[in-house]
Amino acid sequence: MRIIPAIDIIDGQCVRLTKGDYGTKKAYSTDPLEQARLFESHGFQYLHLVDLDGAKAKKIVNHKILESIARETSLKIDFGGGIRTDKDISIAFECGASQVTAGSMSVDDPRLFLASLTKHGGDKIILGADFINRKIATQAWQQQSSVDVVDFIAEYEKQGVIYVICTDISKDGMLAGTSNEIYREIIEKTSIRLIASGGVSTTEDLKELKAMGCDAAIVGKAIYENRINLKSLIKAC
């Protein structure tokens, strides 16, 4: 199982939110590139980079930070936040993203999402499936749909989606464990490559995710709050 450290960006800073609430913003670093280099120096190969400014603005904003990290490191970056059009996707790839995560687009404009999936390929476009109480959420997690997360993922798998980042918003930033029941259901009912996100607080959480068959796990706040040190994460890989 791949372990992917996360960097979320607001106003050029590395921040973490709690349950997606912008009012809970806590900054940890003023230099995302320096943070990315730190991850790379410990042996990590992947990075989850989220443009929270873009998510709120409904368009890609922090592509220059993406570009600098892609240029100055060898990290394979999956980029999300503010992806609403194929132009946003193209900008992300031009700036060095290895993969792009599209969440709101897949709910609000399925036809455009599928066109982008066909254009760029299932290995390049990640389905963002963020949910609360099993229902898919969009618009920087500010709106909740009536769509069940497992049904949502299963339907898009039929359309060619290979990877999904699945985040339980109620767990995000809480350091209280992961949504294993939902993840198991997804793995049992689909063949999707599941990237688990939200709630990781210990290496035991990671062992459980690996045992159930997750393709990868994203770790954010647990790193910044020193719940898990980077050497322990590398060993868990």
Residues with active-site annotation: 8, 130
Q: Is 228 exposed, middle or buried (0-12, 13-18, 19+ CB in 10 A)?
A: buried
Secondary structure (3-state) at 75: coil
Q: 215 is written with which tokens?
A: 């393709």
How many CA atoms lie less than 13 Å away from 186 in the CB half-sphere? 33
Query: In terms of DSSP H, where are the helices of the chain?
Result: 32-41, 52-57, 63-72, 86-94, 104-108, 110-120, 149-158, 180-189, 203-212, 221-224, 230-236
User: Length of the chain, please?
Assistant: 237
Find residue 76's DSSP bridge partners. 46
Bridge pairing between strands 135-138 and 143-148: antiparallel
